[in-house]
Amino acid sequence: MKKFFVVFFLCAVLFSACGRNEESSPDALDGDTSYAFGMLIAGQMGMQGISLDYHAFMEGFRDFNEDRETRLTHEQAIDKVMAALARMEAQNEEDMWLESQRNLEEGEAYMAANAERPGVQTTASGLQYEVITQGTGERPGIQDTVLVHYEGTFLDGTVFDSSFQRGEPTQFPLGMVIQGWIEGLQLMNAGSTYRFVIPAHLANGQHGARPIPPNATLIFVIEHIDIIR
């Protein structure tokens, strides 16, 4: 529920900063700053998928800020907001679970078909790989730092990360990446290029990690350039 509190926090800061009877208060925020608060609150609500009754929102804002009688007490208002946030969080968790199940099923179907393709091998862990170019250099160990070029795509072909597109290879300690990379790169001699299909449990798992959705199966083309020592 933490992400939903961003909106709540912004609203609280705005009300406390503006005070009552804005036009007569010497501490009232200037027009551009007040406008900025409105932009940020609207932006956060949009990002969190919060859709509200605009006119009722403005009525509540006006009544509070102009010291009019509000139709809810402060405690009732807090209860309303907390109940709404709880409902949205529950819906968000349900949506994520449904997405994760859908991604899991799509991944399993893709990997079952991919396993039948010529040249595709499947390890005991479920990692699939095929050799595009076989190098003759040394294979890395888990303690090594590797220099690679790579491109990661979702099953629909959407590229989510690519050092090829950036035009610069990257290096990292092998033990610091997802399990599919740790296992896969240890199969690769320097100078090799492999294509990997990495199931969710060897990638970012059921929770995902932006921009990776939950239980996503990932495809990587990896060029192992060298071991850095």
DSSP string for residues in 105-171: HHHHHHHHHHTTSTT-EE-TTS-EEEEEE---SPPP-TT-EEEEEEEEE-TTS-EEEEHHHHTS-EE
In terms of residue numbers, what domain contains 31?
2-71
Please tell me whether residues 144 and 47 are part of one structural domain.
no
Quick check: is 93 in a domain? no
Once rounded to an integer, what is the mean pLDDT over residues 190-215? Answer: 95
Instruction: Say if residue 34's pLDDT is above 90.
Output: no
CATH number of the domain encompassing residue 134: 3.10.50.40
- Cβ distance 88 to 4 under 8 Å? yes
Of 71, 105, 132, which residue constitutes the final position of a domain?
71
> Percent of the chain beyond pLDDT 90?
58
65 versus 121: which is more confidently predicted? 121
Closest CA to 200 of 215, 189, 190, 179: 215
Contacts of 79 (CB under 8 A, 6+ apart): none
Phi, psi torsion values for 65, nearest 5 degrees: -70, -25
Please tell me whether residues 63 and 141 are part of one structural domain.
no
Q: What is the largest CA-CA distance in the chain?
A: 80
Q: Is the peptide bond before 211 cis (omega within 30 degrees of 0)?
A: yes
Quick check: is 61 in a domain? yes
The full DSSP string for 75-109 is HHHHHHHHHHHHHHHHHHHHHHHHHHHHHHHHHHH
Quick check: is 114 in a domain? no
Quick check: is 204 in a domain? yes
Please tell me whether residues 152 and 59 are part of one structural domain.
no
Please tell me whether residues 224 and 125 are part of one structural domain.
yes
Phi, psi torsion values for 220, nearest 5 degrees: -130, 135
Under DSSP, the state recorded for 51 is -
Quick check: is 102 in a domain? no
Under DSSP, the state recorded for 221 is E
Could you read off the pLDDT of 46-91 as tens digits, one per residue? 777 777 888 898 898 888 888 899 999 889 988 888 888 888 888 7
Quick check: is 47 in a domain? yes
- Cβ distance 150 to 222 under 8 Å? yes
Quick check: is 46 in a domain? yes
| Number of independent structural domains in the chain | 2
Of 12, 45, 71, which residue constitutes the final position of a domain?
71
Quick check: is 137 in a domain? yes
Phi, psi torsion values for 105, nearest 5 degrees: -65, -45
Could you read off the pLDDT of 145-184 as tens digits, one per residue? 999 999 999 999 999 999 999 999 999 999 999 999 999 9
Please tell me whether residues 123 and 211 are part of one structural domain.
yes
Of 71, 97, 127, which residue constitutes the final position of a domain?
71
